[in-house]
Structure 1
Amino acid sequence: MSVPAFIDITEEDQASELRAYIKGKGAEISEENSPEGLHMDLTQIIDACDVCLQDDDKDAESVMNSIVSLLLILETEKQEALVQRLCEKLVQFREGERPSLRMQLLSNLFHGMDENSPARYTVYCSLIKVASACNAIAFIPTDLDQVRRWIVDWDLDTEKKHTLLRLLYEALVDCKKSETAAKVMVELLGSYTEDNASQARLDAHRCIVNALKDPTTFLFDHLLALKPVRFLEGELIHDLLTIFVSGKLSAYVKFYQSNKDFVDSLGLLHEQNTVKMRLLTFLSMAVELQEISFDTMEQELQIGAEEVEAFVIEAVRTKMVHSKIDQTQRKVVVSYSTYRTFGRPQWQQLHENLTSWKQKLSSVKTSLQTLTTT
């Protein structure tokens, strides 16, 4: 990727032009180039470049891109410290101080660097921070497969890997990208081992709360398998998660009555929890029964007879269950329901279903072949 330059002149003259421009904007910097060369010139220019980011000067973009261009031609060993320096400048801004320009500069820097350069880690983390601050996470690459490749390419240690994934998760949550955020958090928690799972207690706690809070998330059994989540066994947050994984509405109501202050302290709304648990309870019933009477619905879901139809309509809209209402016989007829948990019994049932379908298809094929030969 080519990065826009300030002007087509030598690096030394370009540095001199940058010094003069920045000084003219009020920065404390000498117009004379440093005798120590381009590296020191850039150090001083980056330290003074704040003046280019604080107003709508039409030349600021070209000036800053010129700094990026010069930075990219430095030797790798001299480049990393200055990359860190520039990133700190671009991340530290107040509302209204040209966040789109900062994102563009970081993007130019990121894509202009060698793909395997470890310094790209610093740039990417900074890009996430700026994108999160201005609700623009959709404009930077966040595909989890790509992030995994970068983690390998940049040879990140465990701490940096966790920092990157945590930053990305928080930015996605802030920008209301809950589905992608959940995948990133699972990736983060899944990277812990038995030896360091206890260090992820806060992440595991936050993951559970955000998953329960998200109105579009209904399946949670995969969280119980994560080592940091297993580390929370015996705590109230783990008990609450277990109810959402496999419990019924009555179990949640009982838990809430005994632990109201705890649930409220998590920022979870009892009314929303009740709505979600009502649907999850219905899913469990629908897996076990093809026909569910209104009386059973009213009792298990704690709703009135007049609410059954509206509830079923909302449940079908989630596409997690297919069912019809038989008003005459006062029952709900289920044709399909999503499993809340998918363990060995469900895999066994799937194997049996696929085997049965295979046998039936084989039988149909044999019958067709017989017909074509007669």
Structure 2
Amino acid sequence: MEKKRIMLIASLDGSLIRFRGDFIKSLVDSGFEVYTAAPDYTDEFREKINNLGATTLEYNLQRTGLNPFKDFKSILELKALMKDHKIDLVFPYTVKPVIYGSMAANMCKIPVISLITGLGYTFTGLSTKAKILQRFNETLYKLSIRKNRVIVFQNKDDHQLFLDRKVISKQQKVDFVSGSGVNLNQFSFKEKNATDKVSFLLVARLIKEKGIALYMEAAKILKAKYPKAEFHLIGVPETSPSAISLDDINDLHEKEVIVFHGPQTNIPEHLNARDIFVLPSYYREGLPRTTLEACACGNPIITTDSVGCRESVKEGINGFLIEPQSLDALIKPMEFFITNPEKIKEMGKNSREYAEERFDVNIINNDLITLIKRELNI
């Protein structure tokens, strides 16, 4: 029997390896012919994707902003790729690939399983601009995904929002997965041992919505009170309007308040070297990959009781959920771990057990492949 052809559509080539690499390999191992579509591949990521057994295809995409002419061109390019490569099913993820990929596939009458990985800044409602963009994106979602075979969500809150805003109907077929999953071998467990030098780690885009500024403020207060405590930060400098000033970060680094590592590729090593993972995000997350990786490595989690983030914590068991945008709420659990370091080991073990139970990438990928096979009747 001829292999069925699956096209994954992404907005960044690197995300196909970091977030979908195991999924691509599982699809290939399951007998599918896999194509990945993304803009501007680097030689490094093209080679990595090809080594997984997939074929890389390029299309143009304006990742930020709205330009109707460029956006329509992206749709036409994706449509041409689907027709030229006789794609049997399209699997887009993140906002623009879901919207434009679904529109292109609908034009070709190709089935789509779309993955909603989080709604991001535009659905935070934190500014007039965000509210305007939310309405616009809602309209685009309505136009693009109503005919999709299945819409896969990473949390119940996003599904409910789509229902409440009438983006989808109650009759629309939906499914749920616990994020993109985490490779439990790559992110291996390391037991934490109590010391008087408790260390915290935040890994995220360096933007305000990820709670970076809040973490920096907490570090200043706690470092003055507990000089041995360490506050580590990993992230790529941003150019967006909500970017955190690199000068401010470097200033705290020079004053030895925080330890700024810049961008890093060896995240498992950093997680294993640190005690507690912190993500005080008020960004509209799907299910943050970083918290899943921290769970797998055996780090207790401090994150916000907000959409997506709350999925990674069993309150008081493997970490704590805090009120978003509250400095006092963030400081309280951080100080708890500094003054009760023996709890780190116990809660870290609980994090690993939770990852094995719910976030194993093999479980997530098997669920998605079962869904794909069902929709293709194979």
Q: TM-score range by the shorter chain?
A: under 0.3
Higher share of residues assigned strand = 2
TM-score, normalization by structure 2 = 0.24
Higher relative contact order (CA 8 A, sep 6+): 2
TM-score (norm 1): 0.24
Q: Which has the larger radius of gyration?
A: 1
Instruction: Point out the structure with the larger helix share.
Output: 1
